[in-house]
Each structure stands twice: as C-alpha cells, then as structure tokens.
Chains A and B, each alone.
Chain A
Amino acid sequence: MPNGNGTIINMQGIHKVYDTGKVKVDALKGIDLKIQRGTFAAIIGPSGSGKSTLMNILGCLDVPTDGVYEFNGERVDGLHHNRLAEIRNEQVGFVFQNFNLLPYATALENVELPLIFKGVPTKKRRERAVELLEKVGLGERVSHLAIELSGGEMQRVSIARALANNPSLILADEPTGNLDTKSGRAIIELFEELWQKGHTILIITHDPNIPQRTERVIHIKDGQLTENGNGAH
C-alpha cells in the first residue's frame, strides 16, 4: 500500500503560463505546496483560479513553466515525456468531472487501460480489473459499454481505473460536479473509504460539503494559495 509517512508532494515556486500566442495567461503564480503521504485534502477556489492547472501539474500531465516539483522524492519538472508517462501510469490516478472514459469500450476495458500500458499480461489484467470493479460496487457491470452506464456508475469505473496500478496519489477534479446529490455523496464515501485504507487523495471541488470531511483544505485564488486548512501537516 502506498502508505507510510513522508512527503509525497513538494512544490516550490511553481509557475504556469499559458501562452496562446496572442495572450499570456498567468494561471499559477508561485505555488509552494507540501503534502504528506496519506493526506485527504480538498482544493477549493473560484472558477478560473487555477485548480485544474495545479492538478495537471501535480499529476505530471502537464509541466510547470517555472519552479521545482518533487514527487515521491523525484524531481519531475523537466523530465522526459516517457518517464512522465510512466509516473502517470504507476503513481497517479486521475478522476475527472466528465469521467473521461472510452465511450465504446466496456467498463472492464476502461479499467484495463493503465494495466495495458504497464504491460500486465492479459489474464492478470482481467482479474485485476474485475477485482477493482467489484471493489467499487460494479461487479455486475463489467461488460457494459461506458455509454450504457449512469453518471454515478461511470465515475465508479473511472475510480476503479485510477486505482488500477495502485498509485500513491489520487487526483480528482470535481468528481461530483456532474452527478446528482445522492450519487455524489456515494462517490465521496468511496474516496473516504480509500483514504482510510491509506491512499493519498486530493479533490478539487465546488461542493461545500466536501471540505468539511477532509483533513485539509487548500484554498487557491488567482493562481496563488491562501491556505487555511485544519492544521497543515
């Protein structure tokens, strides 16, 4: 289990500038952030404040324009794209607001994706994917196409996918944003369960209920942190 103590995320002076050619957007303006292993944190802030940008950099999906980022003790700013792909594959699990499942693949095939890119042999891969789907309560939906599932079910599939390679960090960008209250609550309960089992989880959210349940709340505004969490580690 990706448990134990120590720092999993250590960011210093992280900047992100989107250069669209015409305009330059300063999305992140010097982020210093340290997160301990096993943390359950919420990231909140107004729309356009840079939450998703931060999450993409945290998950090695994007690279910072400036600053130092250590993930699991490894300097990841400026790494080769192949190594970044490996980190995303083995150490990070993403959960998105719009699920981002392959629509014409089955639940099983969607969960298998990270296992495929890791090179897990077919039989083991299948077993692992079924096991994960059962864990998120979708044992009955294994061979349904993604488009045939409800929003709550899709989000469970994407959580199962995020867990596939047993990552040390789970990043969720407004995971309940597209769900009704009831399925949204169920998803949050699932995250709590995972946290109790030792996962490190960061949730970006607009939902005012979620920060009450997390250990820590990270506020971001205009590309800068204004943290007032319940006691940073």
Chain B
Amino acid sequence: MRIWHFLKYYLHDLRKQKKRAGLTVLALVWGTFSILMLLAFGEGLTRQLDKARLGLGDNIMIVWGGQTSITHQGLPRGRKIWMRPDDDKLLERLIPEIKHAGGEYHRWGVDLIRGKTVLSQHVTGIPPSFEEMRTHYPSAGGRMINQADLDMRRRVMYLGYELKQKLFGDEDPVGRLVELRGIPFTVIGYGQDKMQMGMYSGPDVDKASIPVTTFKAIFGDQYFDNMVIQVYNTDQSEYVKRRVYEVLGAKYKFSPDDEDALGIWDTVEGMKQFNAMMLGIQIFLGIVGGMTLLIAGVGVANIMYVVVKERTREIGIKMATGAKRRHIMNQFMLEALLVCFTGGAAGILISALACYLLGLIPVNSGNDAMNWLGRPTISTTIGVIVASILAVIGIFSGLFPARKAAGTNPVESLRYE
C-alpha cells in the first residue's frame, strides 16, 4: 500500500469520528500508561529492594556457633561450639570457593564520648574484608579499617552514617577523637547513608566499628560472635555450607551432619527466593496492566467496525478494480495497528515523562513509602514487553473488523449508501 494514500485515509477516518477516535486513543494512552507505570513501579521497587539487600552484602552467609545435637567420636551432645579468632583464615584457606571469610565481635551498650555527648552504642570488631562483604563503603574523605590497623591494633574507629550524624552533625569527623572505655579512638571514616534490608545485628548506620584485633585486646573476647562468608558463585552456596560444616566439624569434633552445631543464615538462598517473588509481583502487575490495555483494544475493535461500515463503498470499489480479500484485510489491519501505535506511543512518552518527574523528587533514606515507590524505572525489558502487548492487541482488535471487511460482497457494497 502506498503509505501516503494510506495515511491520508487513516487521518480522514479519524477526523470523521473525532469523538470516538479521541476516546479510543485516550483509552489506549491510558492503558499503555497504566501498564507501563505499574511495571515501572515494580521495577523501581525491585531495584530499591535489591539495593537495600546489597546493604547487607551480596552472596554472603552469616555463621554462628551452635550446640551439638549428635554424639560424635564419643563426645556427648549438647556441647556448645565456639568459633576462635583464626577460624576465618582456616575457612578461606581450605575452601577455595570462599572469596572472603571474616570473624566479628559485638558489644552492645558501650559508651562513646565526644565532648559533652555520651552515647550508649553498639560496637563491632571487624576485619577489612567487611568493606566488600558487608558493603562498608566509606564516604568521600575517609576510609574503612585496613590490614595495617589490624596488624598494629590501632585505635581507630569507623562510624555508621547515623551515628556520625549524632556525634558530629554535618561536620567532617575524620581525624577527630571519640572516647571508648576511656581510650581515645581516631575516626578514620564513616559509612554512606545506605539502605539495608537484611540484618543480623542491627543496622550498620548505627554502629561504631573498630579493628577486630583492637576489639579483642580491649574487651578480651576469646571467641567470635559470628563470621561472615562471601562466596564467589551463587550456585556454590550449598556446597560451601557443607564444606564449612566439614572443616569446622573436623576442628571442633562435631559431625558434619549435625545441623545444630552451627547456625548459618544463607542470604544467597534468600536472594533466589527474593528474585522469584519480585518476578511474581512483576507478572501480576503486568497482567493487571494488560487487562486495562485489553479494554482499550475492545475500543479499537469497535471503532474499526464503524470504519469498515463507513467505508463499505470504498471496499466495493477496490474489489471491483481487482483487490483481493487480503488487500482489504491488510488495509484495515494496518489501520488498527496504527491506532494502537498512536495511542501506545503517546502512552509511552507520558510514562517516560512521569518517571522522569518522579525521579526529580528527592527521596530521603528513611524507611518511608517514597523510598520504595519513588523510583519507577522503565527498563528495556519493560519497553519490549509493553510494545509486544500493544502489537498483539492491535492485531486482535484489527483482525475481526478486517475479516468482516474482506468478506464484504462487492455487489452489495457498491449499492450501499
């Protein structure tokens, strides 16, 4: 079909029934907007949740000492298992699938003093690998605890973002002193204002962290409170868990089959479930949006029936001059697709604009709804999905009117007035 001729007729048809065409296109715009925004909110939510999940760490598991429940090598059940300060190095050495392993100490209710401010806080002793494992990424101008701090048991402190705000406000804390148990600690850095969904010991933003060796020297702890393990590969988490039971079981003489001897929180498994759940939510939102578009599709079919009826004589003329049924069919299919395309394109533009404008509203890191819903995102996948749905609806809404048109009896239609 000659495109100009075709476009001219298309516009002519729409002009002739402005109101109906206007409402139909509006329904399409609204349908496209609905499905896009629903999916965009879903995507934004997924990404925010993902970010929050990464606030805890990616591909990590947390290990606690437990209590044996199986007699092993003549030892009774009910023994407590404590992890010693070189167990992390042992696991790193014996299990190559492990990227980092790091032990951690905790003490709650420790007084931190700066000038007249006294705060009772959660203090942790941690190794440098927490920067990567537990996303303790320092804000600009500061740094995280490093190996030299550990080696020399330096009295240095890394503050969570909220804690830094409480102690120093908007001032730069790096190089300043904070007193812990009467000992002055130098602040070397502070964390970012990060979202954190999973927790095993409270939010990182409220913690003060010192080198694990310094912690042991000051508080005298013999055992880790927990270890954090990061694996290279998501698929290996089950295997690594098994190996941890074997390695520590050999050292502390418990059966590797004794589930209760250690407590392991595998966030990798959790992540898989999380992804599946988010996919489920996205599919649900997509179906809801698809329904809205479907109604618009019914509108398109309706207007196409009217157009076919109004152009009965034209169809007759074309058939008399040699048009085959498929020529007539194609013409109306194309027109239906064009209607859908017009509405769809407008809907996509408006949605993109809405996402852009919503993106301009600043979100604060509090746990309010804006945090999760304020970042709608139209990904390529969403674009492709919506375009496909529009195409399918265009095809179906055009198919039946176009078939009706193609089945027209040419003699009747030439008599039609």
**A interface vs B, CB < 8 Å?**
56, 59, 61-62, 81-82, 85-86, 88-90, 94, 96, 100-102, 104-105, 109, 113-114, 116-118, 122, 161, 164-165
Contact = CB atoms under 8 A, between A and B. Distances in A.
B410 A89 contact: no
A100 B9 CA distance: 17
A100 B316 contact: yes
Contacts of A113: 317-318, 321-323
A85 B323 contact: yes
A118 B327 CA distance: 11
B320 A117 contact: no
Nearest to A91: B322
A45 to B, nearest CB: 18
A62 B319 CA distance: 11
A58 to B, nearest CB: 12
A88 B317 contact: no
Given A109-B5, A116-B2, A81 B325 contact: yes
B313 A100 contact: yes
B324 interface: yes
Query: What are the 6 tightest A-B residue pairs by CB atom distance, in nearest-first order?
Result: A89-B322, A117-B322, A85-B324, A114-B321, A113-B321, A62-B411
Interface of B: 1-2, 5, 8-9, 12, 313-314, 316-325, 327, 410-411, 414
A110 B52 CA distance: 65
A102 B327 CA distance: 16
B317 A61 contact: no
Contacts of B2: 116, 122
A18 to B, nearest CB: 10
25 contacts: A62-B411, A81-B324, A85-B319, A85-B324, A85-B325, A88-B319, A88-B322, A89-B321, A89-B322, A90-B322, A94-B320, A100-B320, A102-B317, A105-B5, A105-B8, A113-B321, A114-B322, A116-B2, A117-B318, A117-B321, A117-B322, A117-B323, A118-B322, A122-B2, A164-B321
Contact of A86 (B1, B314, B322, B411): B322
Contacts of B321: 88-89, 94, 113-114, 117, 161, 164
Given A62-B411, A88-B322, A101 B317 contact: yes
B324 A117 contact: yes
